[in-house]
Every structure is written in structure tokens, then in C-alpha cells.
Chain A
């Protein structure tokens, strides 16, 4: 963890608190986006945290960046922050040039972009923010393996779409479009490491949203009165409060552990466990918070849905719990002689460096 962490996080949290409100989050549903907020983040160098200074980075490490991502999740900041920062992080890690301005990415290997003679062909769906971004960083198949490529989105045909939270998720088509940069062929381990990073970024966002939902809900139980007293005084409501607090505590502790693990190159199973566990958390957190908020929480007027809809959308994006459960199941089978306890407590150093 860098020494800058607390300072950076204070600045970012204040910035988001002052500049992101429900109306701003709503604007993406009107087809616009928060260009002022993005400019503010850019001016403060937040989009280049964890990028080395040689490449125009602002210092800080991956843990700092993941914590900023967590805060953007906590405020549902309607900007492609995770997309731009992860795209640049992947570019740097594969010895490519980081890009200036907005970027997005796609890491699924089953969506077949084909790279031939430096030209990209193919179509991918659910690409975040493509219509608002300039650079696209994606995996592509070629005769000699899978590469990470960077290409200008002005070469693409983009059909707008949205996810459950009305965030832009577009269909992107390239037809023999010239790429700007190509990495060396990637090993299976390198691609897995990229997926691990992608999942870690998503977990950071989810943690922020869960934290915020917990805050909104506890606050609501203090303000809302029924039968002559605030609803937190009712035992059955207290059960909801506790279950929500437990899920939130588990999510925050899990997030801290995965960032610590990534920073210290501990075994990357922690990301797998967290992703599997978060899917259960999301279900519990969304159900409980809506039940406690009752009718008002189901309206567009209220801010709760800005977080619950995002959680419902995010849990189906990227490498989901089923993907990671498969990884864990395979590892358990491979460690045939070992007890589960050996497997669980084995903290050997396994670098996920690309």
C-alpha cells in the first residue's frame, strides 16, 4: 500500500461526494455522460494512478487504484473509470504504450476477434462505454496465438446498448480495421492473470456499491417512522440491518484481502473466492435493502436503484462466479493428495504479474 493512499482516497472521496448526486448518475439514462466529472478526475491524475511515471503515470500502486475504483462504485460515478484505467494498466503490463483519453476493453476469449496482417475483424457485444470512448483494448486471435491489441474506436461500427443499470454496453464491429498496437502472443497464464485483474476491478466497484447500500439503508431506518417510532426499533427490521451489516463487513474485508494479496503476489485464489462469495452477497444485499426501503425504494425517484441495478448488472459481466467456481473445482481435483485445509492455507507466492 503506498503512503499516498489515505491522502488520495480523501481527495477522491471528497471530489465524488461534492460532484456526484442522483441527477448526475441519471444523465446516462438520457444518453449523455458526465464529461465535467471525467475532466475533474483527469485533471487530478486519477485516471493514471498505478501507471509508471515513465509512461505519464501519477504514481501510486494497484491497491491505490483499486481503492479509487471502490469509491467510484460507492458513488455510482457515471464515467468509464474502471474501463480506462484497466485498459491502460493492461497495456503497460504487456509492454505497450498507454493511451491518452478514454478507453474501454474486452477480455473474453470466446468473442472471436481475428487479427490478420495487423487488421482486426469481428464483433463483440456488451462493450462498456464504447460510444463515448476513443481507444479499445481487446484480446484477439491470430495464427500465432492470442494477443492484446489496442485499436481506435473510430474504425468501428458501434450499436448502442445498455445493461440492467442503463450503463452503456455497446456492440462493436470491426472489418479489417488497422490496429494501433499489438502485444506479443500471450500465454494461458497471462490471459488468466488479466482475467484475475478484471475481476478484482469489478469486485472493487461492487464493494463500493454494497457499502453505499448499507449506508443508505441504515440511514433510512433511522429516518423512517411507522407506528410511532423509527423502524430500526423493530426487531424484524433489526434482523435485516444485521444481515446487511454482515454482508457489508464480509465484502469490505474480502476487498481489503484481495488488494493486499494482489499487491503482495499472494496466490490469486482469493479473487476467485471473493467473486463466488460476492454473488451471494449481492443477492442478499439487494433483497434486504429493497425490503427495508419498501415502496419508495422501488421508485426511480429514489437513489437506491442506482446501486442495486448496478450490482445486478455487474454480477453477470466479465468472469462470473460460475467461471471462478470452475477454476476452484479444477484446482481441487488437481491437488488430489491434498486435504482442503492444506489447499486453503497454502499461501505460497504466486505472482500474477503479466
Chain B
């Protein structure tokens, strides 16, 4: 097994955590947002994202010359935890902060970085991730949206699906096929293009989620022109570039804390009832959370120290185990306290329960289904 490093937060980091928390509590008190479960997917609020941008809390690890603060991965980890634990509406800028920025820093051109990163950092420019297609979910090698070379750029035709928040996004990093499918080398011929979602030929159709809200979308491309300067990295290298981001996507606190607001309210409820036996049961949740958090922070520390080679397995484990954990919370909760879950409930725990129950099926799907992750881990463990 991979030995993950332990992390002891510095005094400055503890101070930073309290600073972020105080800000969020103040905003909750002002009514800026109502804490909810799964806020990194379902809580999009562009004015809140701009507020976060003004605080300098988007892209905090990025170079100063683009407006970042060159702070550590651990600082970002703390920030992310505080957002999720308080159920803050961070979905609008989430994917740009987590994936697009690091992608451009690693593979983008200088022009792309100077154009996009400062806007992302201000909380004014949102990205979607265009990976899945109707017949290509976890099996991304079968992507069939294609881009053909034309004068000065590429012409994109095809369809993406399950793009979170595409309806509020400005751009989408889109995985497309730039050369014909080769059955012998399924991962070849894929490229990443930044598609302007306001361009001609784009149609975005919302998909109604089982809560009645629309977070996911279908995105259709009909002869959409993408100029050459919007190709990310090398043509044909899309698969390798995408893989490099997976450890960041899979190992973060968002794979553990999606239902944290419900856990917190459960504990408050048990405390109000003076229910020691219930709290003893609930201590198991705390213990599981602590165990997963150790893994997740350990992966963050490995990424920080540049030891990215060993993170694929623990990162996949964090996602597989973490999402199973966050998915289990509504069931544990309902066995410990009586609730009447409805989305418009006045009682906080009833509303958080409803959000958790209805969002939970997605946890173990988005970002790679558990089944696919199990395959990754099993192969890795056996060949180690």
C-alpha cells in the first residue's frame, strides 16, 4: 500500500481556517446564502462566487502573475472544507477552480493563461467539463464528438451530456476526437478544446434532476468553430491530459463532505434531545469521516510535494469509499432521529434530509462510477 503522509496544520493554517469560517458564518447570518447539502453541485450563485473572488479565495494556489496567491494545496484543502461544511453555494466557480485552472497551468499556452485565469480568479468566468456522451459515460475512450481541422481552427460536431451547470457556464473544456477511432489504440486521437458556450451552433438543453432542479445539461454542437488558440496542450494528447487531473478530481473533500450539513444538524438534534445513546451511534460517523479525511489530506499532501505518481490508487479509494460514506448519511440519520424529508420543509433537518436523499444516488456516479474506480484500484493493487 501507498504510505500517505500525515499533515499537521500550521498556526497560520489554523488561523486561515478560522478566518474563512468567520466570513461564512457572517454571510449566513446576513442571509447571503442558506446552507444546503451537496452545495458544490447544486449551489450556484454567481454573486457569491464574485464575493469569494474578491476575497482572493479562487485559484489560491495559482501563480501571482495571474492573480493567484501561490498558497499551498493544504491551504486550498482547508478553504474547500470550510465551504462544504457550511454548505456554501460554490458550484458556479467550482470546476474552473478545481480542474480548468490546473489544466491550463500545466498544458495551456501563455495566452490562454493570461486570458482565462484572472477572470476565473475574480469569480466571473465559469467552466463546464465536457467529457460524457450519451453512449460514453465512464468509458471515455468511446467519445465520438469530433473536431475537423479547418482554416484557423476546428469545426466541432456532436453532443455532450451530464455537463454540470453548463447553463451558467461561459466555456467548456471539451474532449473531442480529432482523428478516427482506432480500435487498437482507443485512447489515441482525443484532444481537449475550450469551446465558447455562447458561440454559434451551441444548444444547451437542461436535464431535469430528480429533485426537479436542473444542474446537468445536454450540450449539442452543430458546426461550432473553435479557433486554434483554444486547443489545450497537444492535439491527440487529450487522454493523457485528462488523466493527469483525475487525482485532483477524485480525492478532494467534496467526495466526503457532500452531506456534512446533515451530519452537523443530526448531531445538534441529538444534543438538543440529550440523547447520549444516539450520540454514541453518531460517533461512528465522526470516526469514519476522520478516517477518510486522513486519506484525503494525505493525497493532497502527496500532490503538493509533486509525488503525483503514487496518487492514482489512493485517490480512487478516496472517491469510492468517500462517496459511499456520504451516501450512507441519510439512512443513518433517519434511524437516529425522526424526520419528514421534504425539499421545502421549514425544519432544517427535514430539508437537509430531503436534499441528501435525492442527491445521494449521484455521489457514486459523478467523476467516475464506483465500478470503474474499483477496476482501477483492483488492477493497481494486484500489479503493485
Contacts and interface: CB of A to CB of B under 8 A. Distances in A.
Interface of A: 211, 214, 218, 221-222, 232, 235, 238-239, 241-242, 245-246, 248-250, 252-254, 256-257, 260, 264, 266, 270, 272-274, 276-277, 280, 322, 324-326, 328-330, 332-333, 336, 339-342, 344-345, 347
A88 B103 CA distance: 54
Nearest to B270: A332
B291 A344 contact: no
Contacts of A276: 283-284, 286-287
B287 A277 contact: yes
Nearest to A245: B381
Classify the secondary structure of B's interface with A.
helix
B378 A238 contact: yes
B273 to A, nearest CB: 11
A277 B294 CA distance: 12
Interface in B292-317: 292, 294-295, 298, 313-314, 317
B311 to A, nearest CB: 12
A253 B382 CA distance: 20
A252 B8 contact: no
Nearest to B3: A252
A222 B383 CA distance: 9
B8 A241 contact: no
Contacts of A252: 1, 3-4
Contacts of A222: 382
B267 interface: yes
Contact of A253 (B21, B85, B295, B378): B295
B375 interface: yes
B15 to A, nearest CB: 12
A232 B6 contact: no
Contacts of A330: 276
B377 A245 contact: yes
Classify the secondary structure of A's interface with B.
helix
B381 A329 contact: no
Interface of B: 1-6, 8-9, 14, 17, 21, 81, 85-86, 260, 263-264, 267-268, 270-271, 274, 276, 279-284, 286-292, 294-295, 298, 313-314, 317, 320-321, 373-375, 377-378, 381-382, 384
Given A211-B1, A246-B320, A277-B290, A347 B374 contact: no
B287 A273 contact: yes
A331 to B, nearest CB: 9
7 contacts: A246-B321, A250-B294, A253-B295, A280-B288, A328-B287, A340-B263, A340-B264
Contact of A257 (B3, B6, B267): B6
Contacts of B2: 249
B280 A257 contact: no
Contacts of B290: 254, 270, 273-274, 277, 344
Contacts of B374: 238-239, 242
B7 to A, nearest CB: 9
Nearest to A234: B378
B268 A339 contact: yes
A340 B381 contact: no
A341 B260 CA distance: 9
A325 B283 contact: yes
A345 B17 contact: yes
Contacts of A280: 284, 287-288
A35 to B, nearest CB: 33
B70 to A, nearest CB: 24
Nearest to B284: A276
Given A260-B6, A347-B14, A232 B382 contact: yes
| A-B CB proximity, top 5 nearest | A238-B378, A329-B279, A276-B287, A328-B283, A253-B294
Given A260-B6, A340-B264, A347-B14, A241 B381 contact: yes
Contacts of A333: 271, 274, 276, 279
A245 B318 CA distance: 11
Given A241-B382, A332-B267, A250 B286 contact: no
A341 B85 contact: yes
A274 B317 contact: no
- Specify which of A211, A280, A329, A339 lies most central, judged by the most chain B CB atoms within 10 Å of its CB: A329
Given A211-B1, A272-B287, 19 more contacts: A238-B374, A241-B377, A241-B381, A242-B377, A242-B381, A245-B377, A249-B4, A250-B295, A252-B4, A253-B295, A270-B290, A273-B291, A325-B283, A328-B283, A328-B287, A332-B270, A339-B264, A340-B268, A341-B86
A328 B5 CA distance: 26
Nearest to A342: B21
A273 B286 contact: yes
Nearest to B2: A249
A218 B381 contact: yes
Contacts of A249: 1-2, 4, 295, 314, 317
Contacts of A214: 1
Contacts of A344: 286, 289-290
A344 B289 CA distance: 10
A322 B281 CA distance: 9
Contact of A340 (B267, B284, B377): B267
A75 to B, nearest CB: 17
Contacts of A339: 264, 268
B288 A232 contact: no
A248 B1 contact: yes
A330 B289 CA distance: 19
B9 A347 contact: yes
Contacts of B291: 250, 253-254, 273-274, 277
